Amino acid sequence: MNIFELIQKQGHEQVVFCYDDSTGLKAIIAIHNTVLGPALGGVRMWKYEKEEDALFDVLRLSKAMTYKAAVAGLNLGGGKAVIIGDPQTQRSEALFRAFGRFVQSLGGRYITAEDVGTDEKVMEWIYSETKYVTGIPESLGGSGNPAPVTAYGVYVGIKACVKEVFGNESLAGKKVAIQGAGQVGRFLCQHLAKDGAKIYITDIIPEKVKQCVGEYKAEFVEPDKIYDIDADIFAPCALGGIINDDTIPRFKFKIIAGGANNQLLDEDKHDRMLMEKGILYAPDYVINAGGLINVGREVEGYNKEHAMKKAEGIYDTLMKVFEVSKRENIPTHVASARIAEERIMSALKIKKISLDTTKASLERRYHR
């Protein structure tokens, strides 16, 4: 594996490998793009089988954060971090404080946040070493758990998809299959149940499903059977790569709209396969941007009402994506990327004009 070829292919600005002998920390921080602002993205702790898998994951995730921030209209860039280890057995204050020192050393180019395997307590530990962290507890002046805003954004995004496919945004009687009963999945269940949707839910940890089954009358489905449910909407809210050659032929859904990152195993191939199959796909980094919107507001000075209002904009953003997709006959993932790239290029032009003006001013000053 040629690391620099991977970095060049994805268009990253900086990749930092972090190691601390005393705590056993092995981490990778990837900064994809900072044209719109500092790179913000969560730190994921996962038991990767190979170090190459961790690198591949952090490069994909950080690039997606660039597009997520751009299409959501935020003045932030894209970054991500992964820690190689088992969060059930290797998580410790010392390890995450060591990670925080690496974040601090980047001087604000990367701002970290929660992700898989981390939570508010972890952010508090990191905060002990650096100010470049979001999602810290509300008692410390932070925004706390981002899951409620993420789930709310997915909910309004689902309504946009239903409007596009069925002509109205009513969820009453709609069948929704949710993969993942973590925090986002559970909060999403709450919104869907309130609107009268029929919910099917699965998780590899059955205990997580109990609340959804008990409180929201969801029906439990075995993990591998979720792809075969005859439902209107599939909402992936766990790990990525679940839209692939093996699962797509099994789909009976009309809509795929969920909170998971990197849902398409092969972005260039599988978004087109969904389009050809007549399935409307809500690009993951568009519909799940609520969490980023939430912590992004923390950078500016947190206000929950403002964060929720901004998350409501996911509805209009998706409708714009669907319009571009139809007009240009391209998959929705391509349409959303085009919208994001146009915003980044516009910012680049503004920066270039500013740099050219500064250069001309300096030349006049020193070469008169």
Is residue 271 within 8 A of residue 281, CB to CB? The reply is: yes
- Please give the distance of CA 17 from its chain centroid, rounded to a whole number: 22
Report the distance separating Cα 76 and Cα 23, nearest Å: 31
- Please give the distance of CA 165 from its chain centroid, rounded to a whole number: 24
Phi-psi region of 145 (alpha: psi -120 to 50; beta: other; left: phi over 0): beta
- If one counts every other C-beta atom within 10 angstroms of the C-beta of residue 361, the result is 10
Paired with 234 in beta bridges are: 177, 256
Binding-site annotation, residues: 180-185
| CA proximity to 101, closest of 170, 23, 30, 185 | 23
* Helical residues (DSSP H) of 217-279, grouped into ranges: 267-276
Q: Who contacts 101 (Cβ-Cβ below 8 Å, separation ≥6)?
A: 129, 130
Is residue 285 within 8 A of residue 300, CB to CB? The reply is: no
Q: Who contacts 137 (Cβ-Cβ below 8 Å, separation ≥6)?
A: 120, 123, 124, 144
> Phi and psi of 26, rounded to 5°?
-130, 110
Is residue 220 within 8 A of residue 202, CB to CB? The reply is: yes
- Residues with a known catalytic role: 80
- If one counts every other C-beta atom within 10 angstroms of the C-beta of residue 277, the result is 13
Report the distance separating Cα 368 and Cα 364, nearest Å: 6
Binding-site annotation, residues for NAD(+): 180-185
Residue 335 token pair: 């349409």
Class of residue 341 by CB neighbours under 10 A (exposed 0-12, middle 13-18, buried 19+): middle
Taken in order 211, 214, 219, 220, is the CA torsion positive or negative?
A: positive
